[in-house]
Amino acid sequence: MKPLYLPPGAYFDDPADKIDRVDRAESQRKLTCALASDALTRCGDWITRGRGGVKNRALRADIVLLSITPHFLPCRHPSAAWVARQHGVSRQRVSALWREFAEYIGPCIQFRGQRFLNRRRGRGRREPQPGPVAGV
């Protein structure tokens, strides 16, 4: 900020005058590219996790495709049961991995499998909500 009253002949160097103005469309494009790059890196990291070699990576890659772009899977109605049949594992194992992936990638991108993220971890009994008070 410049002072309100400068003495005659005073010199004031405002750094804000030298800053290049930012193009909003360009900055939005850069932000989108950075977020997409981060999401792809996180997907690749999740696919290569764990033991099991190539079989495990193929299973995890199909779970990522099922979550983000199910239309790329070679079936009409992609589901966890289809992925389980293709890889010879149980449907419960695929569902657990799908849930794990949704929790891992949830902060970066939004996709169809995120329905798992909205649940609370503890499934204890909920306290009933108090009803209307009689006589008030």
pLDDT per residue over 98-117, tens digit each?
A: 989 888 887 767 665 555 44
CA–chain centroid gap for 48, Å, is 18
Q: What is the pTM of this model?
A: 0.61
CA–chain centroid gap for 3, Å, is 46
Separation between Cα atoms, residue 83 and residue 55, nearest integer Å:
12
Say if residue 39 is exposed, middle or buried (CB neighbours under 10 Å; 0-12, 13-18, 19+): middle
pLDDT in tens, 42-89: 889 999 987 878 888 999 999 999 988 888 888 888 899 999 999 999
What domains, with CATH codes, occur in the chain?
36-116 (1.10.1750)
Cβ pair 103, 69 in contact under 8 A = no
Cβ pair 84, 93 in contact under 8 A = yes
